[in-house]
Amino acid sequence: MPDALRQFADTYLMWQEGPMIWISDVLILLTSIGIVATLTYFKKWKWLWREWLTTVDHKKIGIMYLIAALLMMFRGGADGLLMRTQLAAPGMHFLDAEHYDQIFTTHGTIMILFMAMPFIFALFNIVVPLQIGARDVAFPYLNAISFWLFFFGALLLNISFVFGGSPDAGWTSYPPLSELGFDNGPGENFYLLALQISGIGSIATGINFLVTILRMRAPGMTLMKMPLFTWSVLSACIMIIFAFPALTVALALLMLDRIVGTHFFTILQGGNPMMFINLFWIWGHPEVYIVVVPAFGVFSEVVATFARKRIFGYTSMVAALLSISVISYFVWAHHFFTMGAGADVNTFFAVATMAVGIPTGVKVFNWLFTMYRGRIRMTLPMLWTIAFVPCFVIGGATGVMLAVAPADYQYHNSYFLIAHFHQVLIGGVVFGMLAGMYYWWPKMFGFKLDERLGRWAFWFFNIGFYVCFMPQYALGFMGMQRRMYTYPADMGWGTLNFVSTIGAYLMGIGFIFIVAQVLYSIKYGERDLTGDPWDGRTLEWSLPSPVPHYNFAVIPTVTSRDYWWTLKEEGRTDEIKPKPEDIQPIHMPKNSGRPFLMGVLFFVAGLGFVFNWHVLAVLGLLGVVVTMLRRSFEYDDEYYIQPEEIQHVESALGRL
């Protein structure tokens, strides 16, 4: 028995890997015990199940996405700091090569798929139905399934660190390195299954919000009266629906190669590894626009609100969003210019890539013209927006440098590239999501986040960002390649790498300030009693904060763009408040535990495939089928909120 136990510990728990795993084990154990003990002590299990795990309310799902995104930002950030620590000086032995590979793989995968994606979905969920005057998304039950598939996908990837081993072939997972012959550990399977499971959820979210925006707008809100954030979500959804299937196919084929023994990407049997790279980037390039376009939407809302002006060039903003979503499909080969496809292919994709800069440039100028002669209030959302502009412009310019195919042979996979994509993804997505979080936080929770701590976070993070990534452009020119775990002293890279590491730690301190800010503000944050703390322009600010679970007691009829602003200007804000005689019973979906259960079953099936435990995999998938069948024969899944209850809630909020 002890032998069997020892073998289990060595194979699955990786106890020979050293103190990092042991510390993680202990921390995970302590955190889990802490959570369970707290929930039991305060008798909150029932509350957790009823209010959160089974909810189909878009606002609560959005909040769960937000929490998950922040946790994942912590994990991904910790990975980043580990890497920067290893690279701080030449010839370091802080991490060995294998651990370094695992850490950069999880860092990239987590930051793109399990931090950026849930962060944008958080804002989709919290904001879109409120902005368009809807009571929920088009498919609330599917929305819950999407969340739980994301959640258990993320859990599957994260658990690999302490159970079986992390993936180590890079977040792009290129074959032949990611094939069985070179990488036979379970880590790569974890990557494939985790992405596959959360990817199903992402496609469903894309469909859900596309239908919500097209079919559930309040009467009178024509497409050209929609707020720009909603437009940006529409643009992102179009990209999600068309791009994610390519990832699904690429991952499925690689999984077949690894589990069944096919040869889609192994060159010896007539397969073609470059086809994986081709498929991966057919998804991968639109993906970066999927995460950045909602950030553009946030900036449009924030700039208009805090400059107290309507957005400059609304129509051109919409045109830019839509053309970005179309052109983003014609640029993917720029990720492998050096493959050798020839001058004609490279020329086409180089020109297409540069063309994306045009609509993006239009947007930047529109934001600047909106700010021009506006009365700008330097609140936290506005600070992050203003920091975004120069950061993204530099990132865009270096992007155009990379788009020049012949020059790319020099920059390809160097630290120049690393600096470029961190600049657009942090400067664009992270700044945008943080701006959005600060902006809509009072709408979610009913209080503002503390301004003073937020400014500390802002300055640490921003200065840290430039200190961290500007040296990396230079390192790229000096020949430093990405994914090197160490470098010799005589390359002369030591100083710049050290500076870069300092910057990374400054960003880490910035993140700690954000955490402190959230904790502090829960107790001391300025309460929002008006529902309109920023003097906003769009419909969500006409509601109380936090919003009652049916959103609108009476659906408003919209007559202009920035309708709430129009009402305020004309002194007609009382018109949007519900009148007792207008209140009808509201049709709502019932909560359900099945989406959560489905996530668990997908997780079980995923774990089965990861370790080739076929019985477990089949059982998990059977469970999924059973839950789907049960759902198909469920008829009693809706209920009505009666007018008396609505009147009660509304008068308690002082709106009747």
**CB distance 597 to 571 below 8 Å:** no
> Tokens 């996979």, residue?
413
Using CB under 8 A as the criterion, what x/- string covers residues 15-34 for binding another protein? --------------------
> Tokens 């983003």, residue?
328
**CB distance 355 to 307 below 8 Å:** no
Q: In angstroms, give the least distance from the CB of 149 to another protein.
A: 18
**CB distance 483 to 416 below 8 Å:** no
Three-state secondary-structure class, residue 24? helix
Strand partners of residue 527: 447
Continuous H helices in 42-139 = 45-47, 58-87, 97-109, 117-131
Q: In angstroms, give the least distance from the CB of 142 to another protein.
A: 8
231 near another protein (CB under 8 A): no
**How many C-beta neighbours within 10 Å does residue 463 have?**
14
Binding part of the chain for another protein, among 11-19, 130-138, 389-397, 426-434 by CB under 8 A, reads 130-138
261 near another protein (CB under 8 A): no
Indicate the burial class of 570 (C-beta count within 10 angstroms; 0-12, 13-18, 19 or more): exposed
Closer to another protein by Cβ: residue 122 or 333? 333
Following CA atoms 126, 129, 131, 135 in sequence, which dihedral angle do they give, to the nearest 10 degrees?
Answer: -120
Residues in the chain: 656
275 near another protein (CB under 8 A): yes
Closer to another protein by Cβ: residue 307 or 555? 555
Closer to another protein by Cβ: residue 346 or 462? 346
Tokens representing residue 461 in the block: 């993070």
Half-sphere exposure (Cβ direction) of 429: Cα atoms closer than 13 Å: 24
| Residue choice 150, 152, 242, 264 for contact with another protein (CB under 8 A) | 242
Cα first-last separation, the chain: 70
Closer to another protein by Cβ: residue 93 or 215? 215
Tokens representing residue 602 in the block: 């997908």
| Residue choice 216, 298, 307, 567 for contact with another protein (CB under 8 A) | 216
Closer to another protein by Cβ: residue 521 or 627? 627
Rounded distance between C-alpha atoms, residue 360 and residue 289, angstroms = 11
The amino acid sitting at 608 is G
Rounded distance between C-alpha atoms, residue 107 and residue 113, angstroms = 10
Q: In angstroms, give the least distance from the CB of 50 to another protein.
A: 20
252 near another protein (CB under 8 A): no
Strand partners of residue 400: none
| Residue choice 35, 67, 224, 267 for contact with another protein (CB under 8 A) | 267
> Tokens 């207008």, residue?
582
Using CB under 8 A as the criterion, what x/- string covers residues 376-415 for binding another protein? ----------------------------------------
Q: What is the enclosing helix (H) or strand (E) of 339?
A: none
| Residue choice 43, 46, 93, 215 for contact with another protein (CB under 8 A) | 215
Q: In angstroms, give the least distance from the CB of 132 to another protein.
A: 11
Using CB under 8 A as the criterion, what x/- string covers residues 133-172 for binding another protein? -xxx-xxxx-------------------------------
Using CB under 8 A as the criterion, what x/- string covers residues 563-602 for binding another protein? -----------------------xxxx-------------
Binding part of the chain for another protein, among 238-246, 256-264, 376-384, 606-614 by CB under 8 A, reads 238-246
Tokens representing residue 110 in the block: 């987590």
Closest residue by Cα to residue 433 from 126, 145, 173, 7? 126
Angle at 626 between CA 621 and CA 629, to 5 degrees: 130
Closer to another protein by Cβ: residue 326 or 397? 326
Closer to another protein by Cβ: residue 451 or 637? 637
Closer to another protein by Cβ: residue 71 or 241? 241
Closest residue by Cα to residue 235 from 313, 158, 318, 175? 318
Q: In angstroms, give the least distance from the CB of 599 to another protein.
A: 19
| Residue choice 35, 67, 214, 618 for contact with another protein (CB under 8 A) | 214
Please report, as residue ranges, which positions from 341 to 380 form the binding site for another protein (by CB under 8 A).
341-342, 345
Q: In angstroms, give the least distance from the CB of 257 to another protein.
A: 17
> Tokens 């010839």, residue?
91
Strand partners of residue 639: 588
Contacting residues toward another protein, per CB under 8 A: 134-136, 138-141, 211, 214-216, 218-219, 238, 242, 246, 267, 272, 274-275, 278-279, 282, 326, 329-330, 333, 339-342, 345, 555, 586-589, 637-638
